[in-house]
Chain A
Amino acid sequence: GEDVEQSLFLSVREGDSSVINCTYTDSSSTYLYWYKQEPGAGLQLLTYIFSNMDMKQDQRLTVLLNKKDKHLSLRIADTQTGDSAIYFCAVPSGGYNKLIFGAGTRLAVHP
């Protein structure tokens, strides 16, 4: 079945860029997603990228997709303390509404 892997922890200084990486196994995925989860909260859809795109930019967020290597990344420019959260990569499986999530990358932003 589909498998999604992420590194578990990332620490950056405020103002620097953050890059969160994700690899997946199912090459038929049409959309790939990034969700954000703040402590004690549900999941917030941050952005998504269609599989025929290499890059998508949305304000401070840049998503890069390498289909050959099945690698997805999320870059956050000018990282702020409010960006501290867990970021999940998610890939649809068996239909768009069934998502397979990675274990999440905890982003810690320090002064």
Chain B
Amino acid sequence: DAGVTQSPTHLIKTRGQQVTLRCSPISGHKSVSWYQQVLGQGPQFIFQYYEKEERGRGNFPDRFSARQFPNYSSELNVNALLLGDSALYLCASSARLVTYEQYFGPGTRLTVT
């Protein structure tokens, strides 16, 4: 089975623009979580979605939003991009809402200029 996939791999945007990142979880997994990893730091939790509902939100501004589709894939949207949004955005999938096993995708590298 394929692992977690994310698209695009790399993205360059200008300040003020909007961006949409995509994630496909492992087949059969119903939970998707999003993390932001700024260079030199550990990942920070942004959102968790399970069965198309938001189940957790980290300390991020309202410019960040997400949704999950009936096939359990997910999109992360960031509006009004700032230079500080430049980071690796990681998606993690798991089979259940609460589980000890999460599997991460390769990430999307976003650069804001």
Inter-chain contact A102/B42, CB cutoff 8 Å: yes
Residues of B whose CB lies within 8 Å of any CB of A are 4, 31, 33, 35, 40-45, 48, 50, 55-56, 58, 90, 92, 94, 97-107
Inter-chain contact A97/B48, CB cutoff 8 Å: yes
Q: How far is the CA of A103 from the CA of B56 in the complex (A)?
A: 22
Query: How far is the CB of A106 from the nearest CB of chain B, in Å?
Result: 10
Inter-chain contact A99/B40, CB cutoff 8 Å: no
> Which residue of B4, B99, B105, B106 contacts A97 across the interface (Cβ within 8 Å)?
B99
**Interface size (A, Cβ < 8 Å)?**
23
**Count of inter-chain pairs, beta carbons less than 8 A:** 66
Candidate in A88, A101, A103 with the most chain B CB atoms within 10 angstroms = A101
Inter-chain contact A98/B104, CB cutoff 8 Å: no
Residues of A whose CB lies within 8 Å of any CB of B are 4, 30-31, 35, 41-45, 48, 88, 90, 94-104
Query: How far is the CB of A54 from the nearest CB of chain B, in Å?
Result: 18
Q: How far is the CA of A86 from the CA of B44 in the complex (A)?
A: 16
> Which residue of A43, A94, A97 contacts B43 across the interface (Cβ within 8 Å)?
A43
Q: How far is the CA of A32 from the CA of B107 in the complex (A)?
A: 22
Chain A residue at minimum C-beta to C-beta distance from B49? A97
